[in-house]
Amino acid sequence: MPNAKKLSDDRHEQIPSLLTDLAAIVGTTNVLTKPSQQQSYVQGAIEAITDATVAVVIPHSLVALWRVINICAAADVIIIAQAANTGLTGGSTPNGDYDRPLIVISMQLLAGVHLLNDAAELIALPAATLQQLESTLTPLSREPHSVLGSSCVGASVIGGICNSSGGMLVQRGPAYTEMALFARRNASGAFELVNHLGLDLGTQPEEMLENLQAGTFNKVSNRTSNSNACTNHHYQHKVRDCEAGTPARFNNDPNGLYEASGSAGKVIVFAVRVATFAKPKNEQTFYISTNDADTLTTLRKKWLKSELKLPVSAEYMHKDYNDITMHYGRDTCLSMRKLPASKIGMLYRLQANIGYYLDKWHLPKTLPDRILQLSSRFMPTSLPATLTTQALSYNYHLIIKVADGFDSDFDNGINKSFDKGINKDSNKNDGNNIAAAQAFLQNHMQQYQGALHICTELESQALLVFRSAATAAMSRYHNLNQDKFGELLSTDIALPRNAVDWDEALPNYLKRQVSKTFYLGHFFCHVMHQDYLLKPMTNAKQFKDELLAFYDQRHIEYPAEHNVGHVYPAKTELHYFYKKLDPTNSLNPGIGQTEKWKNWQSSPIKEKLNDELHG
């Protein structure tokens, strides 16, 4: 194997010819080679330093995308395909050293949605966002798999599928489909186009892609019970099994890995086929607060074991998270209430570009946060007065939304045919879910000390935005108080369904390394997002290793829904899945801390160390 220096020296020999070929397909303006142009594409939510990126390429059509990846294959360069770049673990951005030149392909110009079967299903192209799906489906009284949280910052549909994203919705589980059109790089290095959409698009790749983008295909298809699934039909039963010693959902779960689903950039996904869902006619949000953790533990268990329909969402927030979101999330809450998702996405991209110039000009990276925080003093409060008082008066808080007025979560006949009886409890109390849930909660809270607030529609919207703004508020809180703290370590974890230790008590050897902890999560799914502000002298890597070992002792799986990215190791099943999808390791190598070198070899440095260790 060649040494690392030789690889570095030879890396850019073929670059001029490659860039010329790429520009001939997408145009010179869509081949970005300057660091200032690339900043918002190569920098994600986590710090990623690499000099391997040759260009960011932005195809304008599916055919152009097909031609670009084939040119990259012929040049034997690495491809990182990127949709919206809204991930939290750096899974769609370069990170560290690579053995080959690297091209980032941005799908931002490849938006598009095609409705199928009277909008019971749809085809989403690479840049289709959750917000775009909501806009398309709302007039039809339907909605996409995910409608909360991520839609506020422009997350893509295909990104959710590729990362097994979970989100807030209790009833639907992780984003999943077995129906996709994707390009797979085979062992000889060539791309093959695989059509598992269940649609007749033609026989030749470019013909198929032209027909797909233009929507030139039959929009009504006959599905059978043997057809592949385009949603997760089993999650309702899985999440209700609150006595099980395993989590309801997590990224390393082999049951959620199928071709495009969970692929994390190991194939190039041109389109996915997914189910849509009937939009509820009526919704009601309840705000429950208490100082006794057992109040929420018992509530969750009783509800999941009852005849009650699963809630739309059940979001947990601790008082400490409420407090910082009140003080550091005002502008985020205001923007989410007033701006469309597309505009918020533009603000995130602008922020990344500003960060580049702040670094270049040696200005404090916290400058934008300081300006926004100062201006937020003149903005409306994050929550209405009544909710603010309750949010700051108790330690534990649960936001539960319940819906009336639709047949079932998988209501169309196509989906029902796949697994008869899978939703046998979905229709129970369908016309009076809200009344039944309210009676249940009122009875429960009479037995425990705390508060139950029945929200108006405006209060419900405010709570949703407040919950969605919490992560950004945490980031700003850390940025503006760096003199008091060390690093910020964020984890997303999946607790066993039977766990009662969700209100985490750190052992002393971990507690003494932490200044503050902040917890929130998708409570009925037992998926928690936990932030640890470390003390200034704490070794963050050592703390993380010890923390993950503590999770292992509690039979916790991680990550739960943000995918492994460059933060977590891919466990055996996921590692094998990646190798099967990408035998040459040319697509997003290193994801899940796996090997980065061609054909899944270890780096020359590791090889040398292994040789020395083994004599």
Cα separation, 406 vs 279, whole angstroms? 7
CA neighbor of 90 nearest in space, from 34, 31, 132, 50: 50
Q: How many Cα neighbours within 13 Å face the side chain of 72?
A: 28
Q: What pLDDT was estimated at residue 144?
A: 87
Using CA atoms, how far residue 66 sits from 25, 26, 185, 269, in Å, is 10, 11, 12, 10
Cα separation, 95 vs 566, whole angstroms? 7
Phi/psi for 96 (5° steps) reads 85, -155
For residue range 377-432, what is the model confidence (pLDDT) as tens digits? 888 888 999 999 999 999 999 999 999 865 444 433 334 433 333 333 444 445 68
Classified as helix, coil or strand, 607 is: helix
CA neighbor of 600 nearest in space, from 610, 589, 613, 609: 589
Cα separation, 443 vs 464, whole angstroms? 25
Cα separation, 242 vs 248, whole angstroms? 9
Using CA atoms, how far residue 153 sits from 30, 130, 137, 252, 320, in Å, is 23, 9, 18, 25, 24
Residues (pLDDT < 70) of the chain are: 1-13, 44-50, 147-154, 222-227, 339-364, 405-431, 603-615
Q: What is the pTM of this model?
A: 0.86
Q: What is the DSSP string of 322-389?
A: HHHHHHH-HHHHHHHHHS-HHHHHHHHHHHHHHHHHHHHTT--TTHHHHHHHHHGGGSPPSS-HHHHH
Which H, E and C letters describe 452-491, residue by residue?
A: EEECCHHHHHHHHHHHHCHHHHHHHHHHHCCCCCCCEEEE
The H-or-E segment that residue 159 falls in is helix 157-162
Classified as helix, coil or strand, 19 is: helix
- Neighbour-count burial of 297, counting CB atoms closer than 10 A to its CB (0-12 exposed, 13-18 middle, 19+ buried): middle
Residue with tokens 């010329």: 20
In the DSSP assignment, the letter for residue 2 is -
Q: What pLDDT was estimated at residue 552?
A: 97
Q: What pLDDT was estimated at residue 376?
A: 79
Q: What pLDDT was estimated at residue 48?
A: 61
